[in-house]
Amino acid sequence: MTTTVPSVSSWLRRPLPRPAARTSLVCFPHAGGAAAFYTPWARLLPPDVELLAVQYPGRQDRVGEAPAGTMDELAGAVAEALRVDRAGRELVLFGHSMGASVAWETALRLEGSGLGPRHVVVSGRPGPGRQRPGTVHRRDDDGLAAELRRLGGTHGDLLDDPEVRALLLPAVRADYRLIETYRPDTAARLRCPLTAVTGDRDEEATEAEVAVWRTATDGPFTGLVLPGGHFYLVAQAERVVAAVLGACGAPAPSAHPVLP
């Protein structure tokens, strides 16, 4: 794998460009995930909100780049991309699993530069101080693939294809190494509101563990539990998007109301 110096624009994807939007919903993928995971969300947003999906290096159209080695490297690069791209818009950050930690760290850096987001929503990840170290990144390819199957966020047929596995697993392993060796500053606090969401059957991020995110901000905190396991948001995209918009004070599109 070659190492290149990415441009700022290489970090952000716009599945449905909305140049006149007043708010950018910036979405951070899970370990091994890519910007395309959030593409279906773009059409669920109202006209004045544009989806920006973060593309980590080492996957899809960035497969030739070395994956980020540390949280500081990853969050610092995304924060810089957002500072350049912002164009006066309000930012709302959403991250799932590993992406929750990347979103929080990015928000801390944005606030440090005086360009903090309006709201941060973290999903499927224990709060700082309850995050679990792990050794999944040390497993062989079969062990790594087995973990992906267990969590259910990757189509099994992709893991059955040797050529796809060869392209997919290096980035997955790098992401797991990053997040399993990551040690958050438990004294760090955002100033903006923070919402934490998890599935009621998510063993990777229990309701009690996710509630610890209330210590990660000095702003208002809201906890939300939805039905499902670690990838509860796949089957409930409309409900999750409506909840994110509601948390930020933006109305959900009339065609996609919040479900009971």
pLDDT at residue 174, as a whole number: 92
Average pLDDT, the chain: 88
Helix (H, G, I), strand (E, B) or coil at 32: coil
pLDDT at residue 137, as a whole number: 67
Reading the block at residue 217, the tokens are 């901000």
Mean pLDDT for the stretch of residues 29-35: 93
219-239 pLDDT, tens digit per residue, is 999 999 999 999 999 999 999
The residues, any chain, with a CB within 8 Å of residue 225's CB and separated by 6 or more, are: 197, 198, 199, 200, 207
| Range of weakest confidence among 100-109, 135-144, 193-202, 251-260 | 251-260
| Residues 8-247, CATH architecture | 3-Layer(aba) Sandwich (3.40)
pLDDT at residue 156, as a whole number: 59
10 is catalytic: no
The residue ranges of DSSP E strands in the chain, in sequence order, are 12-13, 23-28, 49-54, 90-96, 119-123, 194-199, 221-226
How much of the chain exceeds pLDDT 90, in percent?
69
Which entry of 97, 101, 123, 254 is annotated as an active-site residue? 97
114-169 pLDDT, tens digit per residue, is 999 999 999 999 999 877 777 776 778 787 888 877 777 565 566 666 777 777 88
- pLDDT for 259 beyond 60: no
| pTM recorded for the entire structure | 0.89
